[in-house]
Amino acid sequence: MTTLRTLKRDLFLYLLVLPGLLFFLVFKIIPMWGIVISFKDYSPYLGLWKSDWVGFAHFDRLFSNPDFIIILRNTLAINVLSLLFFFPLPIVLSLMMNELRNKWFKGSVQSIIYLPHFLSWVVIAGISLIMLSESEGIINHLLAAAGYGRIDFLTNPDYFWGLLTLQSIWKEVGWGTVIFLAAIAGVDVQLFEAAKLDGAGKLRQIWHVTLPAIRNVIIILLILRIGHIMDVGFEQVYLMMNGAVSEVAEVFDTYVYRTGILQGQFSFSTAVGLFKSVVGLVLVILANRLSKKFGEEGMY
């Protein structure tokens, strides 16, 4: 009786959460259950239930495929470059922005460097193509005018990974400072004053006060980043890929798209995606354990 009464009282609350729960059920939970097709030979005519079980056949096919090594290499190379060159930059940048004393100046810098984050990859790829074009791009016009040879930025496989890294830096580094600036803003001002009284200069204050204060945020972001080591933004690669660079450009997501959506090999491509997701999940858990072992908070 009482449960019935509380149910009736809170009916409105249940109605509020219903559509959202339904959404998560249909578009997030059912797909999780849908990964069983990676252990089946899914045929659209037979449907999910009647398709035959094949065990790990699709995974065997993936691991024995020469494409696999290439895709793994490309994915890891792009992500290692990003970890080395992209990841530290927002930290450095937010430390620098925190030292700006003029509020108006700081606000303007923030407004400007956040902006590229809101552009689509289509626009960024489009701008890159135009600015870096071998025959018409401004960069090559400048190189030519300065007496250097023109460079085939867009079609030379040697430049492709670097190009992706630079694009990501231009688009996301500014936005990446948001979370660090928020963490720095939470630092007690008295700590800086105490450090100053103890004779610490600017650099020592940054090293001994600001950095430790944001250490936990850095570690959480690093854990998340490591969990994404198998992910490369589909849109960016898909748009920048061309015939000349496909050998260094194919990554897991573009491969899943090509074999799954374009060629209709739903079971095989689901297996590829599942492999990627499982590795990501394992890496997050490992990174989290590791950070706890070293006395950090971790995130779970």
Q: Which of residues 175-234 bind other proteins (CB under 8 A)?
A: 182, 201-203, 234
Would you call 251 exposed, middle or buried from its count of C-beta atoms within 10 A (0-12, 13-18, 19+)? buried
Q: Which of 84, 123, 194, 286 binds other proteins (CB under 8 A)?
A: 123
CA distance 239 to 246: 12
Number of residues that bind other proteins (CB under 8 A): 83
Q: State which residue, 13 or 84, has the beta carbon closest to other proteins.
A: 13
Other residues' Cβ atoms within 10 Å of the Cβ of residue 34: 13
Should residue 62 be labelled a site residue for other proteins when binding is judged by CB under 8 A?
no
CB 216 within 8 A of CB 297: yes
DSSP symbol at 53: E
Closest CA to 98 of 222, 205, 225, 216: 205
Q: Which stretch binds other proteins (CB under 8 A): 18-26, 80-88, 207-215, 287-295?
A: 18-26
Q: Which of 76, 83, 109, 244 binds other proteins (CB under 8 A)?
A: 109
Q: Which stretch binds other proteins (CB under 8 A): 50-58, 157-165, 212-220, 258-266?
A: 258-266
Residues between 67 and 96 that touch other proteins (CB under 8 A)? 93, 96
Q: State which residue, 93 or 248, has the beta carbon closest to other proteins.
A: 93
Should residue 56 be labelled a site residue for other proteins when binding is judged by CB under 8 A?
no
Least distance to other proteins, CB of residue 80, Å? 21
Q: 40 - beta bridge partners?
A: 53
Q: State which residue, 104 or 295, has the beta carbon closest to other proteins.
A: 104
| Structure-block tokens of residue 141 | 């016009």
Those residues whose C-beta lies under 8 Å from the C-beta of residue 137, and which sit 6 or more positions away, are 130, 131, 153
Q: State which residue, 50 or 295, has the beta carbon closest to other proteins.
A: 50
Q: State which residue, 77 or 100, has the beta carbon closest to other proteins.
A: 100
Q: State which residue, 72 or 129, has the beta carbon closest to other proteins.
A: 129
Q: State which residue, 35 or 54, has the beta carbon closest to other proteins.
A: 35
CB 80 within 8 A of CB 164: no
CB 170 within 8 A of CB 113: no
Query: Could you give the maximum distance between any two Cα atoms of the chain, in Å?
Result: 88
Residues between 145 and 174 that touch other proteins (CB under 8 A)? 145, 170, 174
Closest CA to 82 of 203, 251, 214, 216: 251
CA distance 297 to 300: 9
Least distance to other proteins, CB of residue 256, Å? 5
Q: Which of 46, 80, 84, 119 binds other proteins (CB under 8 A)?
A: 119
Should residue 5 be labelled a site residue for other proteins when binding is judged by CB under 8 A?
no
Least distance to other proteins, CB of residue 39, Å? 13
Residues between 32 and 51 that touch other proteins (CB under 8 A)? 32, 34-35, 37
Q: Which letter, b or e, does each residue of 197-232 get, where b requires 16 or more Cβ atoms within 10 Å of its Cβ?
A: eeebeeeebbeebbeebbeebbbbbebebbbebbbb
